Homo-oligomer: A and B are copies of this chain.
Amino acid sequence: MSAAAHGLAAPPGGERTASKSQLAYEWLHEQIVAGALEPGARLVLSQVADKLDVSVVPVREAVRRLEAEGLVTFERNIGATVAGIDPTEYLYTMQTLSLVEGAATALSAPSITAEDIAAAREVNERMRVFLEPDPLHFDPVEFTALNREFHSVLFERCPNPHILDLVHRGWNRLKALRGSTFSYVPERATESIAEHEALLALIESGAPTAEIELAARRHRSATLDAYLAHTGENPGFPTL
């Protein structure tokens, strides 16, 4: 899993000798997105600095960058905490991702090659395997990873770097939040794989951009709806 391919902000001017602030940023980012740092966990600057064997200044800078991405909150004289305690954050993040990912997929569509389609289809088949035996062997983490890999093929060619960046941030945020609020709905997995196939067919057929955007958006919205129905909370969440 290459960092750049998943939206980890790299220092623009190459990486001669990674600056310590960049090191701290990447380490914290990894810890948070991988779930090693639970949502709500306290981040003490001096402790992080000691652990990475750097001073607090670069750590402070890294935390600020993570704050801008919504992965941590940072308050004056209070400190930094890993974001994501509030369950509605999950809803907002999903909704935002549904918006930007739909657009990114639509904008990518004209550039998607037959090889891309084949690769995506192969990933989708690997996801299907997870459904076979019985629900107990279902691995949400692995399944989600494959899901991201599938969708990456569909949106990675988005020509608008801003939109693409928003998609990456959304996925990362989602991974960070998952630890606390994620509640996977197994029934949804089956539907999801079928929708993936439909999405591929739609792109192959050269459907209009607007249609692809809507399909991709709905695909994610449906997951959100399933989550809402499953938990039974936030019944009045406004839909897009």
Contacts and interface: CB of A to CB of B under 8 A. Distances in A.
Contacts of A92: 160-163
Looking at chain A, what size class is its interface with the partner chain? 35 or more
Interface string A63-95: 011001110010111100000000000001101
Contacts of A61: 60-61, 64
A135 interface: no
B65 A96 contact: no
A240 interface: yes
Given A61-B64, A209-B240, A78 B13 contact: yes
Given A75-B12, A100-B99, A209-B240, A69 B70 contact: no
Contacts of A68: 64-65, 68-69
Contacts of A240: 103, 106-107, 209, 213
**Chain A contact residues: over half helix, strand or loop, or mixed?**
helix
Contacts of A239: 209
Q: Chain B CB within 10 Å — which of A99, A100, A166, A209 has the most?
A: A99
A141 B207 CA distance: 40
A166 B166 contact: yes
A231 B226 CA distance: 47
Contact of A107 (B13, B103, B238): B238
A106 B217 CA distance: 15
Contact of A99 (B12, B73, B99): B99
B12 A93 contact: no
Q: Chain B CB within 10 Å — which of A11, A73, A160 has the most?
A: A160
A19 interface: yes
Given A95-B162, A99-B103, 18 more contacts: A11-B75, A12-B73, A12-B76, A13-B75, A60-B61, A61-B64, A65-B68, A92-B160, A92-B162, A93-B162, A95-B160, A96-B166, A99-B163, A103-B240, A107-B238, A110-B238, A209-B239, A209-B240
B162 A70 contact: yes
A19 B11 CA distance: 27
A9 to B, nearest CB: 9
A159 interface: yes
A48 to B, nearest CB: 16
14 contacts: A11-B75, A11-B76, A13-B76, A13-B77, A61-B61, A61-B64, A64-B68, A70-B162, A95-B160, A96-B160, A99-B163, A159-B238, A166-B166, A209-B240
